[in-house]
Amino acid sequence: MAQSRQCPPTEMERSMEKIITIFQRYSGKEGNQATMNFKEFENFMKTELCSFTKNQKDPNVLQKMMNSVDGGIDGKRDQQLDFQEFLNLIGGMMVACNDALAKCPPTQKNPVPTSPPTEMESAMESIIRCFQHYAGKKGDMNQMNYMEFEAFMKTELKSFTHNQKDPNIVRKMMESVDGTVDGKQDRQLNFQEFMNMIGGIMVGCHAALMKHLKRV
Ligand SMILES: [Ca+2]
Ligand SMILES: [Ca+2]
């Protein structure tokens, strides 16, 4: 996403970039720059997701959350979260938020927040709202069909789709995640499948950034 581009980034692109930057800000504090150790993760959760963290009664919740994804990608339960493991965790929280919002009557969809959202919270919320906006255009309000997905990709991720030479890239991307969560290859993406796709793009961007940082 950091490549040269003619048009200003969309809100979706800015939100994805922001999540990468925030991860980088905390993972880069000590040790391995590309992974978060527990201290870095705790710092991230207490600062960026404080409204979630302060409502938890279990004093070990952060350690448990970290354990729930540690090793899920790299197979190593080394108390280090790589970016994709981190995204699995954040994605899980976003799926819960999306479900809660989808169940909530429309009049309550904009609850007055008690404190202003952090940068991370705004980024997560804007990705959820973007999904709901496109998924809600036709048919099942909680699923993106191919037309909705194509409209999303061509509008919100245009700097990505613009650079692709394969004219079938959008269809192939949809097929690559369709059914990975609900088991149904029905040309409908639910939010979690959508997040797997977005996460894949973000992991690619993060890897490119790490490579770039190693060179400078
Ligand atoms: Ca680190
Ligand atoms: Ca739909």
| Helix (H) / strand (E) containing 190 | none
Q: Ligand 1 centroid vs 9 CA: distance in angstroms?
A: 28
Query: Which residues lie closer than 8 Å to 169 by C-beta, 6 or more apart?
Result: 161
Tokens standing for 19? 């999540």
How far apart are alpha carbons 69 and 63 in whole angstroms? 10
Q: How far is the CA of 174 from the centre of ligand 2 (A)?
A: 14
pLDDT of the residue at 182: 85
For the chain, the farthest-separated pair of C-alpha atoms sits apart, in whole angstroms, at 51
Q: Which ligand is in closest contact with the Cα of 43? A: 1
Tell how far CA 116 is from the center of its chain. 20
Residue 81: in which H helix or E strand, if any?
strand 80-81
147 pLDDT band, cuts 50/70/90, is very high
Task: Name the band, by pLDDT with cuts 50, 70 and 90, for residue 153.
Answer: very high
> Which of these, 154, 205, 209, 143, lies nearest to 179 by C-alpha position?
143
Structural domains of the chain ordered from first start: 11-215 (1.10.238.10)
CA trace torsion 112, 116, 120, 125 (10° rounding): 20
Distance 95 CA to ligand 2 centre (A): 16
Give the pLDDT of residue 164: 85
Ligand 2 centroid to 147 CA: how many Å? 9
Mean pLDDT of the chain: 88
* DSSP tag of 106: G
Tell me how far the alpha carbon of residue 51 lies from the centroid of ligand 1, in angstroms.
Answer: 24
Structure-block tokens of residue 186:
């029905």
Q: How many CB atoms lie within 10 A of CB 123?
A: 23
CA of 125 from ligand 2 middle (Å) equals 19
| pLDDT tens digit sequence for 106-130 | 655 555 556 788 999 999 999 999 9
pLDDT at site 105: 64
Q: What is the pLDDT of residue 149?
A: 96
**Residue 163 φ/ψ, nearest 5 degrees:** -85, 0
Ligand nearest to the CA of 186: 2
